[in-house]
Amino acid sequence: MTTRRYEIANHLRELITNGTYAPGDLLPGRTMLMDTYKTTATTISAATKILRDEGLVWRIPNRGLIVQDLRPLHIDLSMTAQPSDGRGPWETACHQAGRTGIMQLISVKRVPAERDVAHALQLSIGATVVRRDRHAHLDGQAVMLDTAYYPLALVDGTLVAGTDKVDGGILAALSAAGVLDCATARVRELISARAATKDEAAALRLRSGASVLTAERVTRDGDAQPVELLRRVANARRIRFQSDDLPLEGF
């Protein structure tokens, strides 16, 4: 039976790869798969679990196993794409790639800055910051988790400190509020990779311990004052960070 589950998983994987089952399609139900492969429900469950662990399919309650679109989306590292038609930078980047993207606001809180956040924003430990948590969806699935921090003293009274989604993007709102001049602002970014936590894996539909990309960006104004600390956790199969057309300096 152990060998049989891998045989079935391999065949289903081939059908997904060759387009027989396209992204968004439902795999046949368990009963039909049992009839097709002349095996038990236990073996079918084990075979489809292999595909789920690989991120090829995901179970949607009351629907079944959905084939995932595994084409990676290449996103500009700074995510400073000029918003268009009311879209924010994420929605704009997805639209330009011919994909459907939605940035979902999860929560906005005023919290005391912990040591690492305070250090990044050049604040005293415990100073009040605005924390905004968001999930970036690609083709209907969460592929990136954002947590951003802003000094309350800088953003109080702006849309960034409010509890609603900021249409057009945070940087545009900071610019409109006079907090940030995008022409003189600078960013520092750090990219890494690690294993997903249990909560991250659940939110991103990954198997426990799967690898994720992480990005940390600090945005500073023209006076080198930190305005934003942004932390991203991305599904490494679905997202590629990139930087294009950068000047080659120092030669």
For the segment 146-152, the average pLDDT, to the nearest whole number, is 97
Nearest to 144 by CA among 103, 108, 107: 103
For the segment 226-246, the average pLDDT, to the nearest whole number, is 86
Positive or negative CA dihedral for 86, 90, 95, 96?
Answer: positive
Q: Please state, for a pLDDT cut of 70, what percent of the chain lies above it.
A: 92
For the segment 110-116, the average pLDDT, to the nearest whole number, is 98
Which two tokens mark 212?
């994720």
Q: Average pLDDT of the chain? A: 88
pLDDT of amino acid 168:
84
The band of 94, judged by pLDDT with boundaries at 50, 70 and 90, is confident
Which two tokens mark 235?
């599904």
Q: Is the pTM of this model over 0.75?
A: yes
For the segment 8-31, the average pLDDT, to the nearest whole number, is 92
Domain annotation for the chain: domains and CATH numbers: 2-67 (1.10.10.10), 73-242 (3.40.1410.10)
Positive or negative CA dihedral for 184, 154, 137, 99?
Answer: negative
Positive or negative CA dihedral for 185, 249, 97, 229?
Answer: negative
For the segment 152-161, the average pLDDT, to the nearest whole number, is 96
pLDDT of amino acid 141:
81
